[in-house]
């Protein structure tokens, strides 16, 4: 049975189902049980499971991540939640030095079934410290699984898989996805970690993307379809481990690759995708691949600059045309005062 | 009563009123959706900033966190540049790149404010450590909220500052909440924050953060202590946040505190209470107070016009300032 659910509701439902089934699952994070409930993603959980399993905590991210890890080593399945990805950075020792390593470092005797949910902020002047997409960082560390859902269906199925996985999973949620809806079945279902998804079938150009960039790619593809250009979208829902097969198959077919990423360009995830394609199916490429990413500067707060910081679907459209040797259309006339800092005009937060 | 210095009482009150009026006006204007950045208003918490900063010299540095407007203004930060920053303008104190959560005014000795809880505590210690390395004694004052005392950085900084007897004054404004989380989920019962530093051999004070005189006097003692080379000091001020954690609205619908709680909290209004006290003592007259209100309103209007009329930064500035030359 399917119904339309918001991305945020799908996240909530995934946690609810896992909490219900498995008493070792618990949720911890700043504000998980408050009236705003992590933008709604933990709504109703404290009422149902109590403050012991839906645990608010001191502003002590580093230690609390260690506590979560220690509990994961000894029978629990913590879900740690951060309202902004940046807050998890205070816990980099526990995440990178510890959680990522304990299974390997102790010869497979220990395992860390732990999920760390992190929200990537965007818009309304989130600025340099409330907007970073550092999935490439986490993906660089062997031992961490890194998941970035783009649809509500995947959000639920991937989160359930992440909670049931016996490894530390970094689960990255873009804030602008939260209100987007999708058909989401009731009850338990799993979307496997480490599987890319052919979200849209097409023949002319392959776009590899994840998280919110996948949605932008879909929007671009819709535009291009009107002109008879057919796009194939590979949604890289898990960036570590990376399932490259659908990507390589697609490029073999189209010969043209665009990678759209929500992160920075230098030493980033988009570069990794291009490398894989070049290493493995170089001979099929008709044109050099194009990366559409953030420019390599911190996020500016004023919309007068952030309007030019975030790529738009029209940038993807132009890149596609370039790869196809078609006349690039004139760039949209973006003004500093335009309200590109909201997912849709009526949106008033919370951010 | 600061009998010995009536003019100080008047300045303290006027400066607090000024911040109150600025914050109230900005909170009103926020509803126009032109100030497009997360904004943590200082309403209700203006007095600590004023009482502390009144002791400081211009070159003595302060740092703050996400809720920094009052600290910035009390230290003498430019109002025009602050308002322009909130409007995302090129003339803002951070050229628009920062917004409300990232204020700076080096001319006023405001080293910077950032919203990652706890992170400016060691940075503030470092500002004093640089002077120590150069054989000088330079005061550094660090403003933060109660939640920052839950971070490791706080303890590590306290320890380091104590080892080297750095002249650091840590001002902790305990407004009882971290966003919506009460102290009870963040602290063992019965713990007084001002007792914590004693374990590090650090002197500490505890005072009412709504009473301008008490704030001023405690801060004076704390700052004297640090300046005299005896080491860091910690002051806990109890105060109360009037608005929602972030933004210009009320938050009582969210269930963690009631309308009545807020009404009670507002009874400790630092402006009204001190005004009444000074009126009663015959130090202040109603007409003097009204004159201030008028002057301040004009100053605010000027700053707002300046901000609104200022240009946005140019597109080219996006890539500027990545590395220092
Ligand atoms: C390291 C970190 N964790 C979480 C947050 C989210 N956050 C922003 S402000 C805040 C509460 C801060 O409370 P307090 O320090 O007491 O200051 P107040 O807001 O009460 O003035 C939290 C948890 C953050 N900014 N940084």
Domains of chain A, each with CATH number or no CATH: 2-185 (3.40.50.970), 197-323 (3.40.50.920)
Copy the structure tokens of residue A73.
Answer: 């080593």
Active-site residue, selected from the candidate residues A61, A86, A216, A232: A61
Q: What is the mean pLDDT of chain B?
A: 97
Mean pLDDT of the B228-251 span: 97
Mean pLDDT of the B28-37 span: 96
Q: In this complex, is the C-beta atom of B83 within 8 Å of any C-beta atom belonging to chain A? A: no
| B172 Cβ inside 6 Å of ligand 1 | no
- Answer yes or no: do B38 and A35 touch at CB < 8 A: no
Mean pLDDT of the A215-234 span: 98
Residue of B nearest to A55 (CA): B185
In the DSSP assignment, the letter for residue A123 is S
Percent with pLDDT over 70 in chain A = 100
Mean pLDDT of the B295-319 span: 98
pLDDT tier, B148 (very low <50, low <70, confident <90, very high otherwise): very high
| B174 Cβ inside 6 Å of ligand 1 | no
> Which residues of chain B lie closer than 8 angstroms to A305, CB-CB?
96-97, 313, 315, 317-318
Atom of ligand 1 nearest to the CA of B40: 19
Q: Which of the residues A36, A125, A126, A345 would you substitute to probe the B interface, choosing the one with the greatest number of B C-beta atoms within 10 Å?
A: A125
Write down all domains in chain B, each with its CATH number in brackets: 3-170+203-239+269-309 (3.40.50.970)
- Answer yes or no: do A35 and B117 touch at CB < 8 A: no
Is the pTM higher than 0.90? yes
pLDDT of B1 above 60: no
pLDDT of A321 above 80: yes
- Answer yes or no: do B102 and A301 touch at CB < 8 A: yes
Atom of ligand 1 nearest to the CA of A83: 6
Q: What is the mean pLDDT of chain A?
A: 97
A318-332, B20-34, B273-287: lowest mean pLDDT where?
A: A318-332
Q: In this complex, is the C-beta atom of A63 within 8 Å of any C-beta atom belonging to chain B? A: yes
Distance A88 CA to ligand 1 centre (A): 13
Query: How much is the pLDDT for A332?
Result: 87
Mean pLDDT of the B164-182 span: 97
Residues contacting residue A107 through CB under 8 Å, at least 6 positions apart: none
Query: How much is the pLDDT for B5?
Result: 85
Percent with pLDDT over 70 in chain B = 99
- Answer yes or no: do B256 and A34 touch at CB < 8 A: yes
Residue with tokens 């951010």: A351
Q: In this complex, is the C-beta atom of A309 within 8 Å of any C-beta atom belonging to chain B? A: yes
Q: Distance, in angstroms, between A151 CA and closest chain B CA? A: 27
Residue to probe by mutation, ligand 1, list B69, B143, B147, B153, most atoms within 8 Å of CB:
B147
pLDDT of B2 above 70: no
Q: Is A345 helix (H, G, I), strand (E, B) or coil?
A: coil
3-state secondary structure A268-336: CHHHHHHHHHHHHHHHHCCCCCEEEEECCCCCCCCHHHHHHHCCCHHHHHHHHHHHCCCCCCCCCCCCC
- Let me know the angle formed at the C-alpha of A300 by A294 and A302, rounded to the nearest 5 degrees: 125
> Which residues of chain A lie closer than 8 angstroms to B99, CB-CB?
125, 127, 301-302
Tens-place pLDDT, residues A305-320: 999 999 999 999 999 9
Query: How much is the pLDDT for A330?
Result: 78
Atom of ligand 1 nearest to the CA of B245: 19
Q: Distance, in angstroms, between A250 CA and closest chain B CA? A: 35
Mean pLDDT of the B166-172 span: 98
pLDDT tier, B3 (very low <50, low <70, confident <90, very high otherwise): low
pLDDT of A105 above 70: yes
In the DSSP assignment, the letter for residue A145 is E
Query: How much is the pLDDT for B293?
Result: 98
Q: In this complex, is the C-beta atom of B150 within 8 Å of any C-beta atom belonging to chain A? A: yes
Tens-place pLDDT, residues B109-136: 999 999 999 999 999 999 999 999 999 9
pLDDT tier, A327 (very low <50, low <70, confident <90, very high otherwise): confident
> Which residues of chain B lie closer than 8 angstroms to A30, CB-CB?
178-179, 181
| A90 Cβ inside 6 Å of ligand 1 | yes
């Amino acid at each position: 049975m399917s119904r339309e659910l918001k991305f945020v509701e799908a996240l909530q439902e995934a946690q609810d189902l896992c909490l219900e089934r498995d008493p070792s699952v618990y949720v911890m994070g700043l504000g998980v049980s408050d009236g705003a409930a992590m933008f709604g993603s933990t709504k109703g959980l404290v009422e149902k499971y109590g403050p012991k399993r839906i645990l608010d905590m001191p502003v002590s991210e580093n230690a609390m991540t260690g506590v979560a890890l220690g509990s994961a080593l000894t029978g629990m399945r913590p879900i740690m939640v951060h309202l902004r990805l940046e807050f998890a950075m205070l816990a980099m020792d526990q995440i990178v030095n510890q959680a990522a390593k304990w299974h390997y470092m102790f010869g497979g005797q220990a395992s860390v079934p732990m999920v760390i949910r992190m929200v990537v902020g965007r818009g309304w002047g989130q600025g340099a410290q409330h907007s970073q997409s550092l999935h490439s960082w986490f993906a660089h560390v062997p031992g961490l699984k890194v998941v970035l859902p783009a649809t509500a269906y995947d959000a639920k199925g991937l989160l359930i898989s992440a909670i049931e996985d016996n490894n530390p999973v970094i689960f990255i949620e873009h804030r602008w996805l939260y209100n987007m809806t999708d058909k989401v079945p009731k009850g338990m279902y799993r979307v496997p970690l480490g599987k890319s998804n052919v979200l849209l079938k097409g023949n002319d150009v392959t776009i590899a993307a994840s998280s919110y960039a996948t949605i932008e790619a879909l929007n671009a593809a819709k535009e291009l379809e009107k002109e008879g250009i057919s796009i194939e979208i590979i949604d890289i829902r898990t960036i570590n481990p990376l399932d490259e097969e659908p990507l390589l198959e697609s490029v073999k077919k189209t010969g043209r690759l665009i990678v759209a990423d929500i992160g920075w360009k230098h030493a980033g995830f988009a570069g990794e995708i291009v490398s894989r394609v070049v290493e493995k199916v170089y001979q099929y490429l008709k044109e050099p691949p194009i990366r559409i990413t953030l420019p390599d500067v911190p996020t500016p707060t004023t919309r007068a600059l952030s309007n030019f910081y975030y790529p738009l679907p029209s940038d993807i459209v132009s890149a596609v045309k370039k790869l196809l040797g078609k006349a690039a259309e004139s760039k949209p006339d973006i003004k500093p005062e335009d309200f590109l800092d909201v997912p849709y005009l009526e949106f008033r937060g919370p951010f | 009563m600061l009998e010995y210095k009536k003019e100080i009482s008047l300045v303290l009150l006027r400066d607090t009123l000024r911040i109150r009026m600025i914050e109230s006006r900005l909170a009103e204007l926020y509803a126009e959706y032109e100030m497009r950045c997360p904004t943590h208003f200082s309403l209700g918490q203006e007095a600590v900033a004023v009482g502390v900063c009144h002791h400081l010299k211009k070159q003595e540095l302060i740092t703050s966190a996400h809720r920094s407007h009052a600290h910035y203004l009390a230290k003498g930060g430019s109002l025009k540049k602050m308002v322009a920053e909130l409007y995302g303008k090129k003339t803002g104190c951070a050229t628009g790149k920062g917004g409300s959560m990232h204020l700076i005014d080096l001319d006023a000795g405001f080293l910077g404010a950032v919203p990652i809880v706890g992170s400016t505590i060691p940075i503030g210690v470092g500002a004093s450590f640089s002077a120590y390395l150069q054989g000088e004694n330079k005061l550094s004052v660090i403003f933060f909220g109660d939640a920052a005392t839950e971070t490791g950085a706080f303890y590590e900084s306290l320890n380091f500052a104590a080892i080297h007897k750095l002249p650091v004054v840590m001002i902790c404004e305990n407004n009882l909440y971290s966003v919506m989380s009460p102290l009870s989920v963040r602290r063992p019962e019965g713990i007084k924050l001002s007792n914590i530093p004693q374990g590090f051999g650090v002197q500490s004070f505890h005072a009412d953060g709504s009473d301008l005189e008490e704030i001023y006097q405690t801060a004076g003692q704390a700052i004297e202590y640090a300046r005299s080379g005896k080491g860091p000091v910690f002051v806990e001020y109890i105060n109360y946040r009037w608005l929602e954690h972030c933004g210009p609205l009320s938050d009582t619908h969210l269930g963690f505190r009631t309308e009545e709680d807020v009404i009670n909290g507002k009874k400790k209004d630092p402006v009204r209470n001190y005004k009444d006290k000074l009126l009663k003592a015959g130090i202040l007259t109603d007409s003097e107070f009204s004159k201030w209100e008028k002057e301040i309103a004009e100053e605010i209007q000027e700053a707002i016009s300046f901000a609104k009329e200022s240009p946005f930064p140019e597109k080219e500035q996006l890539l500027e300032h990545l590395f220092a030359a």
